[in-house]
Structure 1
């Protein structure tokens, strides 16, 4: 019978008690084709580069596995206990007596079940990365295997980050999706190009999370994007992104001889909840609304007269669907803001002479602006969530 790895134990293949390391040796013998190996036979410079890369990957893998081993078992135990309590509550509750309460219990039970599955998957991936690392060390340092283990650890790190953040994000609409509107601060080309860069930044951020961001609308003026909206249809997107609301300012300084000039582009970012499972629980009077339609497309605009808040929707195939979506966006905006508010400066991006990004709300500063624009905004998001919890 062939040996198998089940739950971190090696079984079969001539005995139940065989060690993981002996199983690794057999697995290595059977591996075909072998991945490229980097040993001392390579040139000195190339060998040094590969060794440095290998040690760096190994350290990152060990850090991710250690964190998973410290957090995952306790977190999984707590979530499974909560799951059992919720199941008991559901058994004790008459689901037909109070449909609203029953629906809330069922939703929470489903959320906990998903969390338990995610934590089990996290533990498996951490064990997999650890095993692959052992295989690599036994195979005279196989850089390809270390890369494979590192890919598994990236998934572990993302899952851990998402779990940690989900425990912090407990405000009213944190668990909902997010609808983001980005508008150019002026009609100049620089501000409109800046809108495109911000759209790319938030799209790349979602990709790095393993999630999808859908561009709901893109309004162009003379070839440039004057306004854009993005839908993040995944849980906790609003909790993550609500701190991004405000004015995002790009400053570019240049020196010409003894004088220096500074160019500025800005865009406003608004974020409202995108309700994923239910419609916003808010009644809006029809007489308070002005609804208008485009003549050639299915775009729908709705203005709320008491507050002056306006919304639009153009991503659906029919006017009716766009009207429903626009109405939901209006309700979400009313729930979050209550009235028309002035956006404050949120973040300042300086491209020259020093490329850095400063968050005006939390004081967090990142020296690599290109990395931020490539979607690496986790430090800012974590700081915003932490600040909300402290307050």
Structure 2
């Protein structure tokens, strides 16, 4: 085996060994056994929220164990691949070595992605994520951009097998969205997606400009951890103002026909939450309460860092605090302004191919907090 390949395999083994220690495979197997016992309980689905939590955690734990053991198996197989390649002759040997080199490159990328997962050690990182997207400067283009971003994150979630629950979509008059709130329901989604928080900038030829001029527009992405019962976020009903109104925008039966949409105002903090995507007023109020609790939890967390008003999120999506730029014209490029990771294929990124950007963001955050 070539000395470079041999040294690389040693480096990959060291990295994967560290990952295995951090993941703690014995503890992970014990937790899977425990969750499987809970999942086999015939009374599990008497409490749907608890049942979904158990099955989601079990699926995540099984996937995590499978990923790590498959990486170890592939790494153990690589020296054999090189031995078999070197036993070939002529063109066959060159092709076999190229195949082994390609598998080594793929394995290096996959181990690096798994290593990033072990960096999610924050207090709220294991939680599901609540994502809020708001259009910023740029008029109708910004509203359209907010809708494109919502689609991007939902596509990313679907590609990874994560379920999405949309709580609220506030449609703009001409096209796109003023704002949207949705939950991505899988473990570690908050830790994973919190690096996506910030202002996203789009540059393109506006489809809404009959003169075909280039337009720059902005949208703000906010990511919150979903509240759990252990958080003790109590809301006094006397502190709430509840308004009901008729849902707006596209919808099926029961939408636009009754006053089922709900707006909650938390008077002490001024936080306002709306929900209109469920069929009944009761369901919308319950969903809005979950979002409000998440906002209050985030406020509490930020207060511990002496950032009292950070949750207002009234940062004004504009040039000042952008974290990623998406250029569709005059050239094509997506560039993260914190990590300098870039891609010349915006259509793939907008279709959910975000892993490189998210992984780099998690590494960047870890370096910033070191």
C-alpha distance in 1 between matches for 2:240 and 2:289: 10
For the residue of structure 2 that corresponds to 1:228, the secondary structure is: strand
Q: Which residue of structure 1 lines up, in the alignment, with residue 340 of structure 2?
A: 364
For the residue of structure 1 that corresponds to 2:27, the secondary structure is: helix
Could you tell me which runs of 5 or more consecutive residues in structure 1 were left unpaired when the two chains were aligned.
Answer: 1-61, 91-105, 255-259
For the residue of structure 1 that corresponds to 2:202, the secondary structure is: strand
C-alpha distance in 1 between matches for 2:352 and 2:25: 36
C-alpha distance in 1 between matches for 2:136 and 2:314: 13
Asked if 1:293 is matched to 2:244, the reply is yes
Contact 2:243 2:264 (C-alpha < 8 Å) held by counterparts: yes
C-alpha distance in 2 between matches for 1:200 and 1:77: 36
Q: Which residue of structure 2 lines up, in the alignment, with residue 211 of structure 1?
A: 161
Q: 1:274 aligns with which of 226, 231, 243?
A: 226
C-alpha distance in 1 between matches for 2:291 and 2:124: 13
Residues 342-372 of structure 1: per-residue CA shift (max 9 Å, x gap): 3333322222323223334x15251415143
C-alpha distance in 2 between matches for 1:63 and 1:378: 27
C-alpha distance in 2 between matches for 1:126 and 1:225: 47
C-alpha distance in 1 between matches for 2:297 and 2:266: 13
Contact 2:138 2:216 (C-alpha < 8 Å) held by counterparts: no
Asked if 1:249 is matched to 2:201, the reply is yes
From the superposition, tell whether residues 305 and 186 of structure 1 become closer, same or farther in structure 2 (CA, over 3 Å).
Answer: same
Q: Which residue of structure 1 lines up, in the alignment, with residue 297 of structure 2?
A: 335
C-alpha distance in 1 between matches for 2:326 and 2:189: 23
Contact 1:299 1:319 (C-alpha < 8 Å) held by counterparts: yes
Asked if 1:308 is matched to 2:277, the reply is no
Larger radius of gyration: 1
Q: Which residue of structure 1 lines up, in the alignment, with residue 136 of structure 2?
A: 185
Q: Which residue of structure 2 lines up, in the alignment, with residue 167 of structure 1?
A: 118
For the residue of structure 1 that corresponds to 2:274, the secondary structure is: strand
Contact 2:25 2:65 (C-alpha < 8 Å) held by counterparts: no
C-alpha distance in 1 between matches for 2:173 and 2:214: 25
- 5 Å-filtered alignment, 1:1-391, equals 69-73=13-17, 75-76=19-20, 79-80=23-24, 83=27, 115-124=64-73, 160-161=111-112, 163-185=114-136, 188-208=139-159, 210-214=160-164, 216=166, 217-222=168-173, 224-226=175-177, 227-252=179-204, 262-275=214-227, 278=229, 280-295=231-246, 297=255, 298-338=260-300, 339=309, 340-343=312-315, 344-360=321-337, 362-370=338-346, 371-389=348-366, 390-391=368-369
From the superposition, tell whether residues 328 and 155 of structure 1 become closer, same or farther in structure 2 (CA, over 3 Å).
Answer: farther
For the residue of structure 2 that corresponds to 1:224, the secondary structure is: coil
Could you tell me which runs of 5 or more consecutive residues in structure 2 were left unpaired when the two chains were aligned.
Answer: 1-5, 35-53, 207-211, 247-253, 301-308, 316-320
TM-score, structure 2 normalization: 0.63
For the residue of structure 2 that corresponds to 1:168, the secondary structure is: coil
From the superposition, tell whether residues 373 and 80 of structure 1 become closer, same or farther in structure 2 (CA, over 3 Å).
Answer: closer
